[in-house]
Chain A
Amino acid sequence: MIKTLARSIREYKKSSILTPLFVMLEVLFEVMIPFLMARLIDQGIDAGDMGVILRLGMLLLGAALVALTFGALSGRNAAIASAGFARNLRQDMFYNVQSFSFSNIDKFSTSSIITRLTTDVTNVQNSYQMLLRMAARSPIMLTFSLFAAFSINRRLSLIFLGAMPILAIGLFFIIKNAHPIFRQVFKTYDKLNNVVQENLRGIRVVKAYVREDHERDKFEDISQEIYEKFTKAEKLLAFNMPLIQFCMFGSMLLLSWFGARAIVASGNNPAIGLSTGQLMSLMTYTMQILMSLMMLSFVFVMITISRASAERIVEVLDEETDLRNNDNPVYEVEDGSIEFQNVSFCYSDKADKMALRDVNLKIRSGETIGIIGGTGSSKTSLIQLIPRLYDASRGLVKVGGRDVRDYDIKTLRDQVAVVLQKNVLFSGTIRENLRWGDVNASDDEIRRMAELAQADEFIRDFPDNYDTHIEQGGSNVSGGQKQRLTIARALLKKPKILILDDSTSAVDTRTDAFIKRAFMEEIPATTKLIIAQRVSSVQDADRIIVMDDGEIKAMGTHAELLADSEIYREVYESQVKGGMADA
């Protein structure tokens, strides 16, 4: 995990190394201060020598200023390193997400990808900064302080060797026991958020079924769980501070007792024993040693908390796209012919049911094919294999007489345009949205394609025409308008194959017919696959495929199918005759 994350440090390696380095220098001067202090008291104040006081005082001031400078430098570098690291993490994740295949995308929910890119990265950024500053500081402080303490008086410093293990073991047990509880707390938090989110989204359902009390009970159960677990975990952590105080006070008392004896025995002479100034320095070091241990424990707590976030980030970084270019990809698609040879497909290895079974199909370049079938009959699955949005599990899919896996993916998708069922417009002007199809399209081209898609008319009714701003998700145009815009966008790619996945469902029948006619007249050479629920949308097609339960049940012209296919006939009758009249 750490290796994967560390790859994102890159150009911020310098700052990441400089930070602990500056911290080290800062600490070095900080530790010197009590040392100098002892001498100032002994040789200056005690001896009443003003000259020494001033000289050592200046030295001390200098040390403090140097420590401050290094402290500021380390703070600055820590900020640079952690913000940069976070930027790279976001970038690496986002780039990797862009390389995901459809099946990779299916694996993560959209909202989880977003949380990972935002909240989780922020968590890791904060811990990284903490780690650089504190994790370096504590051990260095500890070492320096211990060293300084020992150099003052070896025997008295043995007290630390007694206090430190007690503190370390105590902290270890606290964290070890609290960590699993905290993990549970976070999981319960997820549950709580989920209940609130579902409640907000489904508030109309909740109210319509008068389920407010039911929801309240659900919420309060989880809320209670959080209360219990959180209290348990925090109560454990509450031992931290008293434990540290206990060790600190204990050490200070022992120091006082043995220190006093040593001073008295040596007659306050640092040369043979201990001086009062030295005793004071030792007291200061006691605080520093124990405080640095406490900070270390704090770092551990932070890391355990952000570990969950780091794991979630790594999951995205480690996800490898399962669609790759061949070694020698083909950059040219011959024509718009399509062939399926014994194709079977399922969305995941675990699914026990195939979405498509043994599909055989041959479509000539320039043909118009309609696809009809019930909910869940795998119409969409069928067409998604053509631009290689998914790879077939078994069998061969060919475009232009070649296996789709031979092509460069970009080339293939440029030639096979799909208007997805769940389509999206992006915030920006209509023109900008349409240019997704062709970045270099001229205004005339854009208008022509909009005309084909029967969109030009309503676009021109907007006050700003083609410069009308589309809100995020296209919420300011109607469903039918949105569908026509997405068709125009796909047309601008000038593809050899055009696939419409139920893309005119919100368009009225007349406009639908205009669109189909424009296709026939204006882009006759393009192979057109049209999935529809309305028979009227496909009845003029060259051939119509009838799908049911992952299989092609029938194929032929409208007239042929009416005669031969029972399913087709049923669908046709349910629509044309008003279907439910007999009920």
Chain B
Amino acid sequence: MPKPMGRGPRGMGPVKIKDINKGTVKRLLSYLGKYRVRLVFVVISIIISAFTGAIASLFLRTLIDDYITPMLIQANPDFSGLFRVILMMGGIYILGVLASLFYTRSMVTISQGVLKRIRDELFSKMQSLSIKYFDSRSHGDLMSHYTNDIDTLRQMLSQSLPQMFSSVVTIVAVMTAMLYLSLWMTGFVILFVFIVLKVVKTIAGRSGKYFVEQQKSLGDLNGYIEEMVNGLKVVKVFNHEEVVKQDFDIKNELLRDNSTKANQYANILMPIMMNLGYVLYVLLAIVGGVLAVGGVQNYSITGADIVTLGMIASFLQLSRNFIQPIAQVSQQLNAVVMAIAGAERIFNLMDQEPEIDDGYVTLVNASYENGEIVEAKERTHLWAWKHPHGDGSVTYTPLKGEVRFYDVDFGYNEDELVLHDITLYAEPGQKVAFVGATGAGKTTITNLINRFYDIADGKIRYDGINIKKIKKADLRRSLGIVLQDVNLFTGTVMDNIRYGRLDATDEECIEAAKLANADGFIRMLPDGYQTILTGDGGGLSQGQRQLLSIARAAVADPPVMILDEATSSIDTRTESIVQRGMDALMKGRTVFVIAHRLSTVQNSNVIMVLEKGRIIERGSHDDLVQEKGKYYQLYTGAFELD
């Protein structure tokens, strides 16, 4: 059953570095391991690129102090030295440009490669999980791994990480350059940056608080839209449009309010950072001016000299290069923390226990040779269970479709049993029906046969073999299941039927469709069997979808068939036609039928009446009617199922 998409708030709160899980980071890094060599070059390129930027700022000082100022007092200025230095700078710049081109392009390949691997592993892992896992998660949550979580990861890998690293390198480079110029002024800059960071933290905190509120009201509004759009036809039939609009307006307005507040604080952050940068610029000019005018001795890591104009000019340029990367780091940090939280959710799913399958009995094509069953390579329409034994010998049991339950107990969780002492025998060729109220355990029994769930106590034997010994894939291949809720996949009608058996020919698929009485309506579709179905076969009626899913099961040609309310949306006349076809197909095979309509199950060999997880009556239709028990009451309408 698809659950409503959960679009609740997720990880949008004010983020802190200490929230980062170290294990997750390590694991994420392991995905990068494959690109180790390349990453080394990326790191070198980033460093080169960052240093180029810093050198560019320092160049101004060289230009003014070493060339322009001396030349001003020369009678015949010689420009050749300047020319050489500019050429050299040109060389450095080209190197820097090439480095940044190299690392951005490399990071694209690396991050997309990592994402593809994570995506594929995630999906692959998901396929191996048990039905139980899917029961406990909403589709919306699982989907968001592929959309939100992967997307934040992409942003982090291809943008935030290189940018942050480059910013940090720049900060270090600029800091070094500043120390190289003047200790006094560097100290001043660091003091200023501390104040700036305090301001940033306050504003980011406010913004984060409202982002959480925004996500909450967005989730609320989404839920409302989902409900009302799903029920739109009912809204129209009851002329309820105005009431719905009013409720919508209230939720919509709340979202607007929170969204405005959240964005407002986020928007203010940038101008503040930028203009505080200017303030620093001015303050530095004044401090530098005072130092220069006062002729104060300047100390730097290279020694002491007097404050020069070139030094101040360079320092001012550097200060701008200092504030910018700090602003960038504080902005990107958010993205990184969010991405790592997303990665954690992805890894969490990857760490789920897969469906346990310790079965060793496999299903093989077989043929008879001299009255003995032997394994065949090609498709023989005869199947056998291949049963290897401890002593190395192998026995073959023909696949017949006999199912027996011995005192089976089952519960979805350990402390609550939903099935008690189920014992039943289904001989090959028999039709066994389950009847009972919603929640009586009908579907649960069938889910145990194909091991969607494992029993708590008792034993189930299939052709005399304990089903726990049978490999799950082979067990399921031998069972055809038609469910009440039909799921179709994007693709042609033919593809959807062929889903039952991938190597079925077109003729076999059409044959199966005819058997299911689906051929007629399929031929009416615009492109017949080649009509492409989208959106879960949206254009088809529920009844038509059920016919398709019966055709799908028919093409699979399994020895045991489970029909779970498979014809509930098909009218009785069509149903009886389908039923005739099915009965012909299932001759000599076992069928389990769950149906609400008693007419569907009347001709079963055995009908089991279930109540609260127990079989309370069993027998043929006539037996049960004579018994005058629950079934009789149902049959005469004296008792209702729901």
Interface flag for A155 (CB, 8 Å): no
> Given contacts A79-B263, A80-B260, A200-B139, are A260 and B452 in contact (CB under 8 A)?
no
Question: Contact between A223 and B119 (Cβ–Cβ < 8 Å)?
Answer: yes
Question: Contact between B112 and A231 (Cβ–Cβ < 8 Å)?
Answer: yes
C-beta contact mask, A434-469 vs B, less than 8 Å → 1, else 0?
001101000000000000000000000000000000
Chain B residues positioned under 8 Å from A199 (CB to CB): 123, 126-127
> Given contacts A227-B115, A426-B227, A571-B572, are A437 and B238 in contact (CB under 8 A)?
yes
Chain A 295-328 residues near chain B, CB threshold 8 A: none
Q: Whole-angstrom distance from the CB of B69 to the nearest CB of chain A?
A: 8
Chain A residues positioned under 8 Å from B238 (CB to CB): 413, 436-437, 489, 493
Query: Quick check: which of A241-249, A332-340, A516-524 contacts chain B, the rest being far away?
Result: A241-249
Q: Which of A199, A207, A420 has the most C-beta atoms of chain B within 10 angstroms of its own C-beta?
A: A207
> Given contacts A68-B272, A202-B489, A506-B642, are A567 and B232 in contact (CB under 8 A)?
no
Chain A 126-171 residues near chain B, CB threshold 8 A: 129, 133
Chain B residues positioned under 8 Å from A90 (CB to CB): 221, 252
Interface flag for A261 (CB, 8 Å): yes
C-beta contact mask, A96-133 vs B, less than 8 Å → 1, else 0?
01111110010001110110011000100100010001
Question: Contact between A83 and B256 (Cβ–Cβ < 8 Å)?
Answer: yes
Chain B 506-559 residues near chain A, CB threshold 8 A: 521, 524, 526, 535-536, 538, 541, 543-544, 547, 552, 556
Q: Whole-angstrom distance from the CB of B591 to the nearest CB of chain A?
A: 12
Could you list 11 further interchain pairs (A-B, Cβ under 8 angstroms) beyond the known A87-B255, A129-B267, A256-B89? A44-B289, A45-B288, A57-B285, A71-B271, A79-B262, A196-B143, A197-B143, A210-B476, A268-B68, A426-B228, A511-B640
Chain B residues positioned under 8 Å from A257 (CB to CB): 82-83, 86
- Distance in angstroms between the alpha carbons of A67 and B279 in the assembled complex: 11
Q: Whole-angstrom distance from the CB of B586 to the nearest CB of chain A?
A: 10
Question: Contact between B231 and A426 (Cβ–Cβ < 8 Å)?
Answer: yes
Chain B residues positioned under 8 Å from A246 (CB to CB): 93, 97
Question: Contact between A376 and B123 (Cβ–Cβ < 8 Å)?
Answer: no
Contact among B126, B479, B603 for A581, CB-based, below 8 A? B603
Q: Whole-angstrom distance from the CB of A83 to the nearest CB of chain B?
A: 4
Contact among A113, A202, A473 for B487, CB-based, below 8 A? A202
- Distance in angstroms between the alpha carbons of A135 and B115 in the assembled complex: 32
C-beta contact mask, B84-112 vs A, less than 8 Å → 1, else 0?
00100110010011101100110011001
Chain B residues positioned under 8 Å from A250 (CB to CB): 93
Q: Whole-angstrom distance from the CB of A459 to the nearest CB of chain B?
A: 14
Chain A residues positioned under 8 Å from B69 (CB to CB): 276
Interface flag for A362 (CB, 8 Å): no
> Given contacts A113-B229, A208-B479, A574-B573, are A84 and B260 in contact (CB under 8 A)?
yes
> Given contacts A118-B222, A424-B231, A533-B572, are A261 and B278 in contact (CB under 8 A)?
no
Contact among B67, B68, B239 for A414, CB-based, below 8 A? B239
Interface flag for A560 (CB, 8 Å): no
Closest to B234 in A: A424
Closest 3 CB pairs of A and B: A71-B271, A75-B267, A202-B487
Interface on chain A toward B: helix, strand, loop, or mixed SS?
helix
Contact among B63, B89, B236, B544 for A375, CB-based, below 8 A? B544
Q: Whole-angstrom distance from the CB of B611 to the nearest CB of chain A?
A: 15
Chain A residues positioned under 8 Å from B621 (CB to CB): 578
Contact among B229, B536, B543, B637 for A114, CB-based, below 8 A? B229
Interface flag for A397 (CB, 8 Å): no
Q: Which of A72, A98, A110, A213 has the most C-beta atoms of chain B within 10 angstroms of its own C-beta?
A: A98
Interface flag for A564 (CB, 8 Å): no
Contact among B249, B263, B639 for A82, CB-based, below 8 A? B263
Interface flag for B305 (CB, 8 Å): no
> Given contacts A263-B68, A424-B230, are A212 and B100 in contact (CB under 8 A)?
no
Chain A residues positioned under 8 Å from B274 (CB to CB): 30, 71
Chain B residues positioned under 8 Å from A349 (CB to CB): none
Question: Contact between A79 and B264 (Cβ–Cβ < 8 Å)?
Answer: yes
- Distance in angstroms between the alpha carbons of A196 and B141 in the assembled complex: 12
Contact among B101, B233, B256 for A84, CB-based, below 8 A? B256
Q: Which of B67, B268, B276 has the most C-beta atoms of chain A within 10 angstroms of its own C-beta?
A: B268
C-beta contact mask, A38-53 vs B, less than 8 Å → 1, else 0?
0011001110111001
Q: Which of A80, A118, A209, A436 has the most C-beta atoms of chain B within 10 angstroms of its own C-beta?
A: A209
Interface flag for B347 (CB, 8 Å): no
Chain A residues positioned under 8 Å from B98 (CB to CB): 242
- Distance in angstroms between the alpha carbons of A50 and B572 in the assembled complex: 101
> Given contacts A45-B293, A506-B596, A574-B573, are A417 and B476 in contact (CB under 8 A)?
no
Contact among B116, B267, B543 for A76, CB-based, below 8 A? B267
Question: Contact between B237 and A420 (Cβ–Cβ < 8 Å)?
Answer: yes
Question: Contact between A256 and B63 (Cβ–Cβ < 8 Å)?
Answer: yes
- Distance in angstroms between the alpha carbons of A260 and B83 in the assembled complex: 10
- Distance in angstroms between the alpha carbons of A14 and B113 in the assembled complex: 46
C-beta contact mask, B60-77 vs A, less than 8 Å → 1, else 0?
100110011101100001
Contact among A214, A219, A424 for B123, CB-based, below 8 A? A219
Question: Contact between B473 and A508 (Cβ–Cβ < 8 Å)?
Answer: no
Chain A 63-83 residues near chain B, CB threshold 8 A: 63-65, 67-68, 70-72, 74-76, 78-80, 82-83
Interface flag for B634 (CB, 8 Å): yes
Q: Whole-angstrom distance from the CB of A380 to the nearest CB of chain B?
A: 9
Chain B residues positioned under 8 Å from A374 (CB to CB): 571, 573-574
Contact among A86, A101, A423 for B259, CB-based, below 8 A? A86
Chain A residues positioned under 8 Å from B257 (CB to CB): 83
- Distance in angstroms between the alpha carbons of A216 and B124 in the assembled complex: 6
- Distance in angstroms between the alpha carbons of A244 and B126 in the assembled complex: 44
Q: Whole-angstrom distance from the CB of B538 to the nearest CB of chain A?
A: 6
Contact among A192, A205, A215, A571 for B146, CB-based, below 8 A? A192
Interface flag for B580 (CB, 8 Å): yes
Question: Contact between A583 and B580 (Cβ–Cβ < 8 Å)?
Answer: yes
Interface flag for B490 (CB, 8 Å): yes
> Given contacts A209-B476, A252-B56, A263-B72, are A80 and B264 in contact (CB under 8 A)?
yes
Interface flag for A26 (CB, 8 Å): yes
Contact among B71, B240, B476, B552 for A436, CB-based, below 8 A? B240
Chain B residues positioned under 8 Å from A256 (CB to CB): 59, 63, 86, 89
C-beta contact mask, B137-167 vs A, less than 8 Å → 1, else 0?
0010011001100000000001000000000
- Distance in angstroms between the alpha carbons of A206 and B483 in the assembled complex: 12
- Distance in angstroms between the alpha carbons of A192 and B112 in the assembled complex: 15
Question: Contact between B473 and A353 (Cβ–Cβ < 8 Å)?
Answer: no
Chain B residues positioned under 8 Å from A414 (CB to CB): 239
> Given contacts A99-B241, A102-B233, A580-B580, are A193 and B487 in contact (CB under 8 A)?
no
Chain B residues positioned under 8 Å from A341 (CB to CB): none
Interface flag for B500 (CB, 8 Å): yes
Question: Contact between A97 and B229 (Cβ–Cβ < 8 Å)?
Answer: yes
Contact among B276, B286, B476, B602 for A580, CB-based, below 8 A? B602
- Distance in angstroms between the alpha carbons of A80 and B105 in the assembled complex: 38
Query: Quick check: which of A399-407, A476-484, A551-559 contacts chain B, the rest being far away?
Result: A476-484
Chain B residues positioned under 8 Å from A200 (CB to CB): 2, 134, 139, 142-143
Closest to A208 in B: B481
Interface flag for B176 (CB, 8 Å): no
Question: Contact between A581 and B272 (Cβ–Cβ < 8 Å)?
Answer: no
Interface flag for B627 (CB, 8 Å): no
Q: Whole-angstrom distance from the CB of B503 to the nearest CB of chain A?
A: 12
Contact among A227, A276, A575 for B113, CB-based, below 8 A? A227
Q: Whole-angstrom distance from the CB of A33 to the nearest CB of chain B?
A: 5
C-beta contact mask, B1-36 vs A, less than 8 Å → 1, else 0?
010100100000000000000000000000000000
Query: Quick check: which of B309-317, B335-343, B381-389, B402-410 contacts chain A, the rest being far away?
Result: B309-317
- Distance in angstroms between the alpha carbons of A33 and B490 in the assembled complex: 60
Chain A residues positioned under 8 Å from B279 (CB to CB): 61, 64-65
Interface flag for B438 (CB, 8 Å): yes
Q: Whole-angstrom distance from the CB of A542 to the nearest CB of chain B?
A: 22
Closest to A212 in B: B127
Contact among A70, A212, A510 for B637, CB-based, below 8 A? A510
